[in-house]
Amino acid sequence: MIYLETGLDWIRGMRISDDGRYLACCGEMGGGLEVYEIGGQRGEVLTLVGKDEGVKDVNCVLWV
């Protein structure tokens, strides 16, 4: 099991990219959106690569 401390309040949505390289999650009560790169042999290393505290609509996370 992997534990991850984020800067988000009440994680509302979370999604792994189709290629399995990134995890995006967003907070319902604050914190915006955070994107992590997934690494390690078993995906046990998560590195914060992006953060946007201005995201307000956190009902879904989409990959474009």
Residue 60 has pLDDT above 70, yes or no: no
| Across 9-32, average pLDDT | 84
* Beta strands in the chain, from DSSP E residues, in sequence order: 9-16, 22-30, 33-39, 45-52
Q: Name the nearest CA neighbour of 4 among 29, 35, 32.
A: 35
Q: Residue 13 is part of which domain span?
A: 1-64
Alpha-carbon Rg for the chain in angstroms: 11
Instruction: Classify the C-alpha dihedral 31-36-41-43 as positive or negative.
Output: positive
- Number of domains within the chain: 1
Q: Which helix (H) or strand (E) holds 57?
A: none
Counted residue by residue, the chain has a size of 64
Share of the chain above pLDDT 70, in %: 81
**What was the pLDDT predicted at 64?**
46
